[in-house]
Amino acid sequence: MMQRQRPSGVESADDGHYWISISDLMTSLLFIFIIILAYTILSFSEKSAVFEESFYKRGELLTQIQTTLQAKNIDVDIDIKNGNMRIKSDGFFAVGAADLSADGQAKMAEIALVIQAKWQEKEAFKNAIDTVFIEGHTDNVPINQSIGGRRWTNMELSAQRAINTYTTMDAAAQIGQMKNRDDKYLYSYSGYADQRPVPGNSNSTELERAQNRRIEFFFALTSPQLNLKK
């Protein structure tokens, strides 16, 4: 019995149509991939530019705060790269004490007013800063006296100093009401005892321990968003 065969021309046409479809699909997928990659690179580039702008604005803000405070005879150290402003706590707190001295309260109130004024001076400063962390830090020497009827740890002391700093600043400048661009509260506080010494310090000498006893303000940058006001 003879079997009918498909014409070779029809078979070739079907095979060609099949391979053309796969080729078109791969081309389309490649085109989509290129578009997504280009968008990702562009978005990353734009966000990097926004982040860099915020970084420089934070540095400008810290520099202006330091200059203004120095004119008021209040010495602070700033770390432009990491966004920190440091104040040696020995001039604000008695040894082993969590309450600010009278002079410490006056100076901390002035610091609050200066930060507030400078932060509100430019819209770009507001856009650059997400949170200002008030951090209490101590050296690695245990406390030798009791506070409130019991002996505190350095962790408790550093945390309470940060809290008292916050409340003093809030009484002077209502920092508890200040909000960032996302309408979230600007200030926060925490204590770290001797866990985060000044970079390069090891608490091995009295000079290093004195530098590590500090109140530190960390100005955290906002996450990059596009179309921010300059």
- pLDDT 10s digits, 159-176: 999 999 999 999 999 999
Q: Are strands 77-79 and 150-151 parallel, antiparallel or unpaired?
A: unpaired
Res. 152 pLDDT band, cuts 50 70 90: confident
Eight-state DSSP code of residue 176: G
Q: What does pTM read for this prediction?
A: 0.76
Which of these, 83, 229, 68, 100, lies nearest to 172 by C-alpha position?
Answer: 100
Q: Is the pLDDT of residue 7 over 70?
A: no
Q: What is the CA radius of gyration of the chain?
A: 30
CB 96 within 8 A of CB 143: yes
Residue 93 three-state SS: strand
The rounded percent of the chain whose pLDDT value lies above 70 is 77
Res. 8 pLDDT band, cuts 50 70 90: low
Mean pLDDT of the chain: 85
Query: Which position has the higher pLDDT, 214 or 54?
Result: 214
pLDDT tens, position by position, 75-92: 999 999 999 999 999 989
The values of phi and psi at residue 210, to 5°, are: -65, -40
Q: Is the pLDDT of residue 187 over 70?
A: yes
pLDDT at 202: 83
Burial class (CB in 10 A: 0-12, 13-18, 19+), 172: middle
Element (H, E) at 107: helix 102-119
Q: CA dihedral defined by 54, 60, 61, 66, rounded to 10 degrees?
A: 150
The C-alpha angle with vertex 80 and arms to 87 and 170, in degrees rounded to 5, equals 45
Architecture of the domain defined by 51-221: 2-Layer Sandwich (3.30)
d(CA 105, CA 167): 10
Q: Are strands 84-88 and 77-79 parallel, antiparallel or unpaired?
A: antiparallel
- Where are the chain's structural domains? 51-221
Q: Is the pLDDT of residue 188 over 60?
A: yes
